[in-house]
Structures are given as structure tokens and as C-alpha cells.
Structure 1
Amino acid sequence: MVDSQQNKGYRVISMFDRLMDGQGINKKQEAFTHNVGEKTIQRDLNEIRDYIDKAKLDCHLEYVRVEKVYRLTNTGKNILSKEQVLAIVKILIESRALLKSEMSDIIDKLISIVAADKQEFIHNIILNEKHLYVDLNHKKSLLHLIWVTKLLQQM
């Protein structure tokens, strides 16, 4: 019993992780991979759907009939649009307030929150500006300093 519960936990987390990465889940393939029935996979998908509802995540699980897979789709309420991310990135770059490594890391993380099918497009728009970004002369990280300063102001 414990072994099957561990397998179930792994199976459900594995599916959820792949769904969060934008991958689709095919019930038949998933059942074959984990050596269980399709009804078991359907129950797992229902548990994932329940978790999404209870956790109030900004997405929902839906079946895409054309592809014959289940996918997570964003409801878009709390997600930045590609235009908003691009504007934020452009403002950050123009500010020249951070080290190149810090700026690059922040830009990559901002791009990662955009829908998967738009990430490459935004990345290509910003690639040249990111490459031409001139590092600060003093070569000191400001992120921690900004954080500490703000904390001290709150006291």
C-alpha cells in the first residue's frame, strides 16, 4: 500500500510539474508510462484540478481536443501581458541602475512569466539591448543595498 501511494504521489507531482512547464498530458500515454489505467490518470487529473481551485492558482486545467492532451491555461487575472513585460524590461534597461549580470537575471525571469509561445518573440526583441547593456562603472551590486536601505527606512 505504501509503495502504491508513493508511486501515486510521484505520478501526480510529475504531471503537475509538466503541466506547469506548459507541456500537455495525454491520458493514454501517461497510463502506459506509469503502468496504470486511464481511469487512474483521470482521477489524478481531477485531483490536480481540485488543487488548482483550492490554491486559487491563476490557471485552469482543460482538455485540448485537437491535440488530445490536458493543458494548463492561464486565466490572465494576475499575469503580466507580453506588452507589460516588454515595457518593464525597457524601463529597467534604460535606468542603467544595475550590474549587467543582475539586469540579465531579472530580464530572463520577467520573460519567463510570459506565455510560453510569446517568450521567444520577446527574448528576440530584447536580445540586442541586453547584449549592448553597459555595466555600471563602480561594479557593485545594488540589489542588496536597495533592500537593506528600504528595510532601514521602515524602522
Structure 2
Amino acid sequence: MTERQKGVIAMDRTLYIYSRLAAGKPVTKRELADRFGVSERTIQRDFRDIRDLLAEERPEWGLDRTLVLNKDDGTITIQPPIVSSFTSSEAYTIAKILFESRSLTKKELDTLLRKLEDCCFPLSDRKRMRDLILNEQALYVEPRHHQELIHRLWEMGRMVAQQQVLEMEYRRHSDGRTVRRLVKPVGILSDSYYFYILAYFDEQDEVATRKQVRQKFPIGYRLDRIVAFRPVGRHFEAPYAKRFKEGEFRKRVQFMFTGDLTEVSFWCASSALEAVLDRLPTARVVKQDKDGEGAWVSAEVYGEQGVSMWLKSQGSLVKKIKFKKK
């Protein structure tokens, strides 16, 4: 065997070991030596080459990755893993958000949690992560529509990104009837257990009035109530400067009740001020009471119904609510 052939075989062996480690799979020197018919000392040199590679790539990743030996079973892994990973605290935080949102079926939630556990770093925390979420996972109550939405959500996101005009069949909440709509989807939001598709009426919708077609705010359609949808083969224009921004819309809408852009002002007790400012991202304190008991607050919202419901639920902590269309 020529030196060149030996070099190719050594490179192939090193690449195999690296690919196993990069996939998050532990290896041992004995296992690899048996597989390739070489000594453990040769495998140790392969590990050294991989360590050097990890060190060279450190500036690009921004992570100090290296090979770590588990003294209990003799396995070697790359730490932190190259596969997408979360710290234990990050994975636990995401799990808690998923539980609290209650927007997924139990089957979908279980799948996501299992993948979160697999991405949890360090590896020693995976069992602890499992123990922390086990009880809440068992008692999770899925939404009553019982529909799996993750794939549909992705498909709808593609339609939004491609600015596709959609024909959809939508089951209305008011009377349970399924109606046909021709819409321009511009965004997706999650609010109070549900996903919503935000869309404007298309000019060719046979039912929409001229006022509805011209309205300046989108309508929210619950994703689980969309019975079917398909692109009609037309695209709508959205100049970048006028493109709909979900983040800005989210700041001004409460409980998915929409309407004209409106300014709401009210008096708020100091004890509730932080919660009010967090709930209404556009809110600002206009004037503080001299006695420190409260403050006058102003905020921009879409429509009156949603924000009015929430403000009134604060009881005597919020008073003198006034609306003014902008």
C-alpha cells in the first residue's frame, strides 16, 4: 500500500469519527479500533486531529468545543455538541412557555419536548430536565379543537412569505357555518391558546364589501377553523415600506379584537402600572400623580373592544377610560 493510499484511508477514518461525534453520538477508542482494524494509539491520533480542528473553528462558532472523556464508561463526545443545542435552563424555559401557551395537541407537544431533551446540554442534565417536566407533561390539557397545526402553520407561513392570494374555507364562530374567503395573508400571531392568520380581503372576494377591502387593518382568522386553503395562483404586492409588520400589530391588538387605530387614555393605580405597561407595549405614562397613588396612561391600540375588556377586568385599579380614533 502506497503512502498516498494510507493517507486517504486515515482521512476517511478521521472523517467517519468526526461525523459520528458531530451527530452527538458517543464513541470509544476500543470500538473504533476494532471497526478499522487499527490500534487504539492510532485512534488517539485521530482524536488529536479532531481536537485541533475544533480549536481552529472556535472563532467561527464562538464556542469552546473540545472532546470530553466520560470516565464512567469510556465514551468520548464533543462538548458542547455540534448539533443544535440548548443549555438546560434554556430548554426548561422553552418547555414552560410551550406548556403555558396550550396551543398544541398533546402529541405535537410531546414530540417537541422530546427533541428539546435531546438538544439539552450538558448531557448530565437531560434526566433532570425530564424529571422537571414529567408531571406537567402528563397533566397537559390540549385545546378543544384537537387539531395538529404545526405542519399547517408552516405551510401558511410559506404563503405569507410568498405573498400568495389564498382561497380558504373558514368555519365561523358565530354560527358554525363554513364560508369561502379570498384573502391576502400578511402575518401569523399566537394569542390566548390559538394561532391566527392575519389577512386582508382580496378585491375579487365575492362577499367582501368595498369598505372591507379598503380597511387599513387585517382580520384575524383562527388557524384551527380554516377547513381548507389553497393558493389561487396570484400574488399580491406589498412594497417594503408598507409591508405589514406582525410585531407592530401585536403591540396594538388585545385578544385578537381588531378595529381602527385608536388612542386609549386612562388613570391607573401605581400597584397595577407595571402590569398595564407590560400588557400594552405602546403605553406610556403621560403624567404621574403628585401623591404617587397612580398615573395617567396613553396607548395606541386597534379597536376598542379587546383593550376595554382587559382594562375593565382590572376593577378599581383602572378608571376613566377614554377612546379617540386616530
CA distance in 2, matches of 1:63, 1:143: 36
Match in the other structure for 1:128: 135
Matched to 2:67, the amino acid is E
More strand by share: 2
**1:129: Cα distance to partner?**
0.9
Q: CA RMSD in A?
A: 3.6
Q: Which has the higher contact order (CA 8 A, sep 6+)?
A: 1
Bigger mean CA offset, 32-41 vs 93-102: 32-41
Normalising by structure 1, report the TM-score: 0.71
Q: Percent identity?
A: 23
**1:87: Cα distance to partner?**
1.2
1:1-155 correspondence to structure 2 within 5 Å: 9=12, 12-13=15-16, 16-17=19-20, 20-21=23-24, 23=26, 25-26=28-29, 30-32=32-34, 34-49=36-51, 52=54, 53=56, 58=63, 60-62=65-67, 64=69, 70-74=76-80, 79-114=85-120, 115-154=122-161, 155=163
Structure 1 unaligned spans of 5+: none
CA distance in 1, matches of 2:141, 2:68: 46
- Structure exhibiting the larger radius of gyration computed from Cα positions: 2
CA distance in 2, matches of 1:110, 1:84: 10
Structure 2 unaligned spans of 5+: 164-326
Match in the other structure for 2:278: none
Matched to 1:62, the amino acid is L
More helix by share: 1
Structure 1 consecutive aligned stretches of length 4 or more whose deviation exceeds 4 Å: 4-8, 50-59, 63-70
8 Å CA contact retained: 1:59, 1:72: no
CA distance in 1, matches of 2:159, 2:33: 55
Matched to 2:113, the amino acid is I
Q: 1:64 to 1:104 in 2, by over 3 A?
A: closer
**1:111: Cα distance to partner?**
1.4
The number of residue pairs the alignment matches comes to 152
**1:146: Cα distance to partner?**
1.8
CA deviation string 1:111-134 (max 9, x = no partner): 111121101101111011111111
8 Å CA contact retained: 2:24, 2:77: no
CA deviation string 1:35-94 (max 9, x = no partner): 212343134324434554559565633364966764422189x84221121111111111
